[in-house]
Structure 1
Amino acid sequence: MGREQVAPANAVQLVGRVSGDPTERELPSGDRVVQLRVVVPRPTRRGRAYAGTGKETVAKKPMAGDRPRAQVDTIDVACWTGRARAAALRLPDGAGVQVAGALRRRFFRTGSGRVSRYEVEASVIRRVDLV
């Protein structure tokens, strides 16, 4: 009896809130990209997600009578296709959003040299109502 065989995959599924308004840029190549940030609550130790407010919070040591603050991850999302760009531009700050795509590492030059960053390249993006 051997291990299960699986094919390599790069698939990302996010459900969270839009943080700030999406922005569209035209690159020197002429390509257009819409970028946005999605705030996603981290699971609790019991495996359930915190009820997020859509605003990034920082964990702190709770004081007597304080409710614990939610911990979140803020994920950069890039929309390159016409359909994904159009959908992203309709999302207001704080809207619930579902993103399907792949994790990408982009390289670019700044005044201080070559740098890289990770972002989710969205293939599907849609507004949703969060519970």
Structure 2
Amino acid sequence: MPEPRLRVDPDDPTPAFEQVRRGVRDLVATGALRPGDRLPPLRQLAGDLGLAVGTVARAYAELEQEGLLVSRRGAGTRVAAGVLVAGHEVLDRLARDYLERTRAVGLPDDEALEAVRRLSRG
């Protein structure tokens, strides 16, 4: 990534490592990051986002455990080969993330769903 396309919202109740993890997953899901693409080094991304290196390291480690990223000494961290995300999987993950975030701030599911309906109507 030539410039950070990830964003961490300090007002979001979601932990910063999870925001980074979710952001990388979204970049892969939308094709902004493709298999074989190299991610910024930990220190660089941490500095760009104003986070501790350990925060970014945790996000990368969890994504590596999921099979989305591969890290090799000297070769950096890259999107794993053969990573494909189907449209419904992306939608399900985004919906799950949205519900988790609304629940984290104490909103009931029916209000969260009504907000989506209201916004979709314009």
Give the alignment's TM-score, normalised by structure 1.
Answer: 0.21
Q: Which has the higher contact order (CA 8 A, sep 6+)?
A: 1
More helix by share: 2
More strand by share: 1
Higher Rg of the two aligned structures = 1
